[in-house]
Each structure stands twice: as C-alpha cells, then as structure tokens.
Structure 1
C-alpha cells in the first residue's frame, strides 16, 4: 500500500514538473483588436516524439510493426487512426477551445480555411509524448508547439510568436487512447492561448 501511494505521489510530482509553459518570443497582441476572423493552419513537418525525438515516420514504422506482431492488421488499422487524428481530433480540439473565449466574448472566429483573413495562426507541432494508461497509474500526454500569428498575404511578417511547452493532455477519468490524450493536449494549448490573448489584448 505504501509503495502504491509513493508511486502515485511520484507521478503527480512528475506531472507538476512538466506543467505547460507559454513564452512570448516576439511581437505583441495589438493586431488582435478589430479582427473578426483568423485563419488557422497546422504543421507537423518538424514533429518529434518521445524522449528519443523520433521522427513521425520512425514512430509510425515502429508502432505499426509492434502491433502487427500482436495481431494481423492491427498495425495498419492503428496507422490510419494515427494519421486521421490530426483532422478529426487535434485540430477540432484546439480550435474549439480557442473559440470558446475569443468568439463568444470578443466575436473573433478561429477556423481553418479562412484564406481571406488578414492574419493566420500557424500551429507548428514540434514535440509529442503520447503518455500512457495502465488503469491504476497513468501519465498524461505532453505537447509542445510554436504558435505564430503571421500576415496571410505575407508570411514573413510575424505579428506574434509564442512557444508552448509540455501542454498536458488527459481526459477526466483517464483514457487508453494515445490519440485522445494528445487531443486533450491540443485542447489545453488552445485554452491557454485564448486566455493569454484575452488577458493581453483586451
């Protein structure tokens, strides 16, 4: 019993160590006022995973091979889920939480495909730790991104750049799905960024 309590405390402490950190690298929030819509784009070209900094290709190959050994077709099925999660989980979670404050309180819409919007928010996903769940114990996912607000017509003109490190991702009650945990990391990033904008711009 004491061992179990110690492990639980250790995991909680670890989670606190890896708390999300947002840092303003360049620019300010002045451009936000007066905007009614902002385009959102997600980029995974620089993505690394786990402490080993695996590329997405390396991770997919290793994970697919491991699952195929456990059952024919499992690796291929997982690969489809992993790739589809960017569109059906990660982007919607981020955008939903961005709009929760900024659209409902300030009337600013964040959405993909708004090519006529003056500004574009680029979400460069640079690091993911999927976390794990062993029922009794679990570790949340962690997500690091570079968030840039650029002029849509001139991407070299950066109005604001922010780094977000180790955004935690986990569902209440836990989940055995890596993709769901990562999705909550995107939700946390969107929520924290929207609150930062609310604080600094309005």
Structure 2
C-alpha cells in the first residue's frame, strides 16, 4: 500500500512539473467574439525535438536508422506513421478540444481550409518531447507551440500572439505510442486555448 501511494505521489509531482504554461505575448481577444469561423493552419517548419533540439530531419534519420537496425522495415514503417501523425492525430486532437466548448456554447468553428474566414489561427510547433513508457514508469510528452491569430488576407497583421509551453501529453492508463502521447499534448493545448478564449473574449 505504501509503495502504491508513493507511486501515485510521484505521478502527481510529474504532472505538476510538466504543467502547461500559456502566456499572451501581444494583442487582445476583442476581435474573436464576433467571428463564427476561424481558419486554422498547422506549421512544423522550425520544430525542434528533445533537449538536443534536433531538427525533424535529424530526428527521423536517427530514429528510423535505429529501428531499421532492429528489424527490416521497422524504420520505414515508423517514419510513415510519424509523418502522417500530423494530419491524422495532432491536428484533429487540437481541433476537437478547441471546438468542444467554443462551437457548442458560442457557435464558433475552428477548422482547416476556411480560406474565406477573416482570421486564421496559425499553430506553429516550436518544440516537442515524445516522452516514454516503460510499463511501470512513464513520462508524458511535452508540446510547445506559438499560437498566432492573423488576418487571413494580411498575414503580417498579427492581432493576437500566445505562447503555450510544455503542454503535457499522455493517455489515461498510458500508451506506448510516441505519436499518441504527442497527440494528447496538442489536445491539451487546444483545450487550454479554448478556455482562455472563453474567459477573455466573452
């Protein structure tokens, strides 16, 4: 029983250490309340990975070669999953949590491909840490993003800029998939931003 309590306390401490920090860098929220649709774009161009700040290309090369050395085809299969996760896990997770309250309570929709929307939310991934799961012990993923609301027709006009650092990502019960853990980090970011907009704009 004592060991179980110690383990639970350790997990609680980890969750505190890796809690998300969100900060308004510039701009305000007044423009949002009159909008029914906001376009969303996801950018990964300058993303860094791990404490070593690897580029995506460096990480993919290192990880895929390691997996390929452990079994023919494993590296290629992982690379395909890693690249597709942006469209099938990260973006949908973020948008699902963004829309959960804002769409149902305020009638506002955040979606990709809304080129006619007056404003665009650019979700730029700055840094990620995939985390790990060793069964008994685990560490959540972390996702840091720069969230910029810009005029769709004039991207240089940034009306609101927010930094979201170290959004923790993990599934209840844990998961051995790096991509799934990171997806939960994007979900956490969407949820936190949604709550901030609900509080500041309405």
Structure 1 runs of 4+ with >6 Å offset: 1-5
Residue 18 (structure 1) shift: 1.9
Which residue of structure 1 lines up, in the alignment, with residue 153 of structure 2? 153
Which residue of structure 2 lines up, in the alignment, with residue 90 of structure 1? 90
Say whether the 8 Å CA contact 1:8–1:137 is kept in structure 2.
no
Structure 1 pair 200–172 and aligned structure 2 pair: CA distance change class (3 A): same
* Aligned-pair Cα RMSD in Å: 1.5
Which residue of structure 1 lines up, in the alignment, with residue 37 of structure 2? 37
Which residue of structure 1 lines up, in the alignment, with residue 199 of structure 2? 199
Residue 116 (structure 1) shift: 0.5
Q: Does 1:123 align with 2:123?
A: yes
Residue 185 (structure 1) shift: 0.3
SS of the aligned residue for 2:35 comes to coil
Which residue of structure 2 lines up, in the alignment, with residue 104 of structure 1? 104
1 CA distance for matches of 2:194 and 2:109?
A: 12
Residue 68 (structure 1) shift: 0.3
Unaligned runs of 5+ residues in structure 2 are none
Which residue of structure 1 lines up, in the alignment, with residue 175 of structure 2? 175
SS of the aligned residue for 1:180 comes to helix
Unaligned runs of 5+ residues in structure 1 are none
1 CA distance for matches of 2:12 and 2:56?
A: 28
Residue 17 (structure 1) shift: 1.6
SS of the aligned residue for 1:32 comes to coil
Residue 6 (structure 1) shift: 5.7
1 CA distance for matches of 2:61 and 2:121?
A: 31
Q: Tell me the matched-pair count.
A: 202
Deviations 1:45-92 (A, max 9, x none): 110001111110010000000100110000000000000000000000
TM-score normalised by length of structure 1: 0.96
